[in-house]
Structure 1
């Protein structure tokens, strides 16, 4: 199991919530070779979903070109301090992770 996803959700004075997400994942592209010349198999996050109080607000489909330990930042409207924000991802080997945080005011 991977390390917990680090999530920060801060409500700004303009009503927008800035969400920052740092996911722990090796993210192999499938193009790198080992010392013996064999390709390292692809291993990357394919789907990222974000929900605010169980309502989907973001869905992203990723491929092998995303960097190791990917960082995602976005803004959303309509969140209030204390709302629950959940981030989940699934990789191409079937592993998944889900973490949540409360929106800070």
Structure 2
């Protein structure tokens, strides 16, 4: 299995109080735990089960994901630009592994 690769797409700068779109995706195989290998042994579940976005340290978006989510889960949501700050993105996988990205946004 390859190492999950997270990516986000957000503007570098936004006018104060404008709404902007955030697009987030993580390249992840997503194993449901319902399939078996060639020997009949169950392949353990390993999915991205949670996504969180923080803006200036405050949680502004959260999604809990389940088995029905496809591989490479893609999320799109909107935020209002209130102040310069850091956007923090984190994806949590079964077993506790976390993958993170950061993006600073300038509010003009």
User: By percentage of residues, which structure has more strand?
Assistant: 2
Q: 2: CA distance between counterparts of 1:49 and 1:55?
A: 10
Instruction: State the TM-score, normalized to the length of structure 2.
Output: 0.80
Question: The residue matched to 1:31 in structure 2 has which SS?
Answer: coil
5+ unaligned residues in a row in structure 1: which ranges?
none
Aligned residue-pair number: 104
The alpha carbon displacement at 1:103 in A equals 3.1
1:65 matched to 2:68? The reply is yes
> Contact (CA 8 Å) 2:88, 2:103: kept in 1 or not?
yes
Could you state the TM-score of these two structures normalised by the residue count of structure 1? 0.82
Among residues 90, 94, 105, which one is paired with 1:92 in the alignment? Answer: 94
Give the distance between the partners of 2:79 and 2:7, measured in 1 at CA: 18
Task: Please provide the CA RMSD for this pair.
Answer: 2.5
Point out where structure 2 has 5 or more consecutive residues left out of the alignment: none
